[in-house]
Amino acid sequence: MLGNRALAREIQGEIGKATGEQVAVSIRDGIARLRGRLSSHQATVEAGHLAASMDQVREVVNDIVFPGQMRFKPPRKVSEELTGREFDVVVVGGGVIGLAVARELSQFNLSIALFERHNDVGMDQTTHSCAMIHPAIQAEYGTLRWEMNYKGNAMWGETARQLDVDFKRIGTLIVAENPEEEALLPYARDTAIKHNDPEPKLLDREGLDRVEPGLAANVRKGVLVWNTGIISVFELLIAYAENALSNGVSIFLDTSVIGVRTEDSSIKAVDTTRGTVRTKILINAAGLYADRIAEYAGDRFFTIHPRKGETIIFDKSYQPVRTVFAPVSLAAESRESKYTKGGGIIPTTDGNLQFGPTAIEVCDKEDVSTTAEGCDSLFDRLAPLLERLKPEYEKPDKRKIITQFAGCRAATYKEDFIIEPSRKVRGLVYVAGIQSPGLASTPAIVERVREIIQEEWHPSVNDKFNPVRKRQVRFSELDLKQQEELIQSGPRYGHIVCRCENVSEAEVVRALNGEIAARSLDGVKRRTRAGQGRCQGGFCMPRIVEIISREIGIGKERVVKSEGESYILSRRTK
């Protein structure tokens, strides 16, 4: 085993060979720290991965500077309204992980607060995910990501039942097009078994036709990894939040953490944009900014480097597949990709098909821009597979694409999850580096956090904890008789606001007055699907703006698309 100086020199040499440039490297407690200047962001990311590739390196702090680097601008304090409040536990981050952790810990007699920087929950990674519950077959065997993936996947049936969220196990279908590919199918089955997925099903042509009708004549064999699932991710966020609230958790939106106070190497308080809150336990589930929270606490031992993924969505009229569709050639391509599973052809619970996501390293954690290049690359890569393998079905058509979106994954350079108590600061617990398959892993991740809290603090059990949450009825899911009864109980159910998704005015009003209330056009969209259909809000947006204005009590020109100054209207004209 190399000593710290020898290891640092080796890493420095490898970076020099790869980039042609030199940086300073130091090692302490297994943490590689990189400093200096490189000519590009890509070289900086490559340097971080080279350092992380060393087995003796636990994590990487990458402080290399490069041209065009984004400077972090801390949010400003806006009030002191929370100063003086005290909670046993503070959770930083209102994505699916933070909300699920808060809900999980409400099983104990603990006062819990959750701080989310946006005006709604899950606005970073979660709502920009492909909403897929991955099998563990593609996770690197032996990593924490793999362990959380296979354990979490198996837990989703019960979790979705408790939260009353739409969840379907549709499976991943790997199909072979020739004898050479057919010979690889048993390997796919054996790999899944090794990764602790349930044993996949080897299918002959008759079995394939039952799972995916319309396959090309040359496709005679396949493997169904049947535990792959899809979930309604927007509904899931609200479900976790509502269940956490009903079990006593306090959720504070529009609240950013801007500092952490410690005393004798223990958590004492958290500074936020709305004041200082005292606490003994801080759960760092801050996603893309988890390294920033670690720095505030004096224990930064990793760097988050954002990796953007773009996805395209097709109209519901185009539904060529029932499963997550993965020809052997695509599955092999994904296995060869070092830091991503490669994206694919994925149905959604709402009936749309999606292609994606891509995987591109970016320097801006806020970069959710979409590009024509991203759309074209996904279509050009995946559409030919459907044309070749599903010749009897309607051909892919770019005119069927109704929208595209992008989000950034919160990756560390070791590309693994960090779920552990701090080794330096008592009371600080990390739930960081949670990228794909973070959604699939969520139930297992929060179970691990619960175990950490139990072992460290031994809280008593909350006998009143209720894990069950019931969702509101969707008008579009009812038959005509049930819809008529609902209209009789509330006439606004008879006012259809969104024709594409059959969303009523009553449902929009309910979204604006819920426990976690929508405060924007996108907030209404996430809760009701109004604006997510073929016309993407072209018909319903003016009416929804009117309803938001009326229900919240603001002028129409103050209604925002998302948050901040994303106003829909610029001014009154008359």
276-287 pLDDT, tens digit per residue, is 999 999 999 999
Q: Where are the beta strands (DSSP E) in 40-166?
A: 59-65, 86-92, 112-115, 132-133
pLDDT, residue 64, reads 98
499 beta partners: none
Between strands 266-272 and 257-263, the pairing is antiparallel
Band of pLDDT at residue 336, cut at 50, 70 and 90 = very low
pLDDT, residue 117, reads 97
Q: What is the mean pLDDT of residues 486-497?
A: 93
Give the CB-side neighbour count of residue 484, counting CA atoms within 13 A. 3
Band of pLDDT at residue 473, cut at 50, 70 and 90 = confident
Region of 83 please: left (phi>0), alpha (psi -120 to 50) or beta.
beta
Band of pLDDT at residue 71, cut at 50, 70 and 90 = confident
Q: What is the mean pLDDT of residues 16-45?
A: 97
Is 284:294 a contact under the CB 8 Å cutoff? yes
Burial class of residue 50, CB neighbours in 10 A (0-12, 13-18, 19+): buried
What is the spatial distance between Cα 334 and Cα 138, in angstroms, rounded to a whole number? 8
420 beta partners: 430
pLDDT, residue 87, reads 98
Q: Does 333 have pLDDT greater than 70?
A: no
Rg, the chain, Cα only? 24
Q: Does 334 have pLDDT greater than 60?
A: no
The helix/strand/coil state of 149 is: helix
pLDDT, residue 571, reads 83
Find, among 133, 166, 164, the residue nearest to 151 by Cα: 133
Band of pLDDT at residue 79, cut at 50, 70 and 90 = very high
CB atoms within 10 A of CB 28: 10
What is the 3-class SS of 345-377, one letter each residue? EEECCCCCEEEECCCEECCCCCCCCCCHHHHHH
The mean of the pLDDT values for the chain is 95
Respond yes or no: is residue 134 known to be catalytic. Answer: yes
Q: Does 34 have pLDDT greater than 90?
A: yes
Q: Does 343 have pLDDT greater than 90?
A: no
What is the spatial distance between Cα 315 and Cα 398, in angstroms, rounded to a whole number? 10
What is the 3-class SS of 288-299, one letter each residue? HHHHHHHHHCCC
256 token code pair: 């950013």
Q: Does 332 have pLDDT greater than 70?
A: no
Which one of 41, 49, 118, 134 is the catalytic residue? Answer: 134
Between strands 305-314 and 401-411, the pairing is antiparallel
Is 264:163 a contact under the CB 8 Å cutoff? no
Q: What is the mean pLDDT of residues 177-203?
A: 95
Band of pLDDT at residue 479, cut at 50, 70 and 90 = very high
Q: What is the mean pLDDT of residues 309-316?
A: 96
Q: Angle between the 41-52 and 4-19 helix axes, to the nearest 10 degrees?
A: 140
**In the chain, pLDDT over 70 holds for what percent of residues?**
98
Q: Which residue has the higher pLDDT, 336 or 61?
A: 61
pLDDT, residue 65, reads 97
What is the spatial distance between Cα 446 and Cα 465, in angstroms, rounded to a whole number? 16
> What pLDDT digit, counting tens, does each position of 134-160 carry?
999 989 999 999 999 999 999 999 999
Q: Helix H segments across 53-164?
A: 96-105, 144-163
pLDDT, residue 90, reads 98
Q: Which H helix or E strand runs over 180?
A: helix 179-182
